[in-house]
Amino acid sequence: MAERPMICLYCGSRPGHDPAFSDAAAAIGRAIATRGWGLVYGAGDHGLMGLAARAAMEGGAPVLGFIPRRLVDLEVAKRDITAMVITETMHERKKLMLENADAVLALPGGAGTLDELVEALTWRQLGITEKPVVLLDTEGYWQPFVALLAHFVEHGFAGPSLMDDVALAPTPEAALDRLAESLSA
Ligand code: AMP
């Protein structure tokens, strides 16, 4: 495992309705700092993104943010992080986030989170990346997504290994344990 594993976090730019999501995002930020790890994310100040980054910074973790120029105001870029990199495009943002991290962790989120997560999974399928992907399944949030993956396999549009490409964890600590296991393997 790298001396300071960097975790690429995909999560909502909104907090969602259930306070459990906000609690989980803050707990992830704190736990990343406690373990001496670092955070890579989309540099937003709102929603679960902002909560996780704030908690990680408060705990002393390095936080790297990548944000496209046109979203700096729209998503309210978080400027008090360790380093904020402004990209020209969304694609560049996603590429740099993954390149600068050792593993991917997805928290509850919306279409943006899904886009990022599915790209990491398809890149794994294609062998473009081998970085592990873990889903924090707070309140069973990702169950419909896992059911959709199983639907792909059932209908012959993906091999069974697709189900092994995502690891689900019920709690923030379990999610980081799964990441630690994958990074040490
Ligand atoms: P959401 O889950 O919709 O709240 O979005 C979470 C984050 O994903 C936000 O920072 C969005 O800007 C980002 N996002 C949305 N679509 C894309 C995309 N196509 N490529 C990269 N990031 C995206």
pLDDT digits (tens, 9 = 90+) for 56-98: 999 999 999 999 999 998 889 989 999 999 999 999 999 999 9
Q: Which helix (H) or strand (E) holds 67?
A: strand 63-68
Nearest alpha carbon, ligand 1 atom 13: 112
pLDDT of residue 185: 84
| Residue 133 pLDDT > 90 | yes
| Ligand 1, atom 11, residue with closest C-alpha | 112
Any ligand 1 atom below 6 A from CB of 14? yes
pLDDT in tens, 21-59: 999 999 999 999 999 999 999 999 999 999 999 999 999
- Residue owning the nearest CA to atom 20 of ligand 1: 90
158 lines ligand 1 (CB under 6 A): no
Q: How far is CA 140 from CA 18, 36, 137, 150, in A?
A: 12, 28, 5, 16
Strands 38-41, 63-68: pairing kind: parallel
Q: What is the pTM of this model?
A: 0.96
> pLDDT tier at 143 (50, 70, 90 boundaries)?
very high
Alpha helices in 78-110 (DSSP H): 90-99
Q: Using a pLDDT cut of 70, give the percent of the chain over it.
A: 100
CB 112 less than 6 A from any atom of ligand 1: yes
Atom of ligand 1 at shortest range from CA of 110: 2
Q: Choose among 5, 11, 12: nearest CA to 37.
A: 5
87 lines ligand 1 (CB under 6 A): no
Cα 162 to ligand 1 centroid, rounded to whole Å:
23
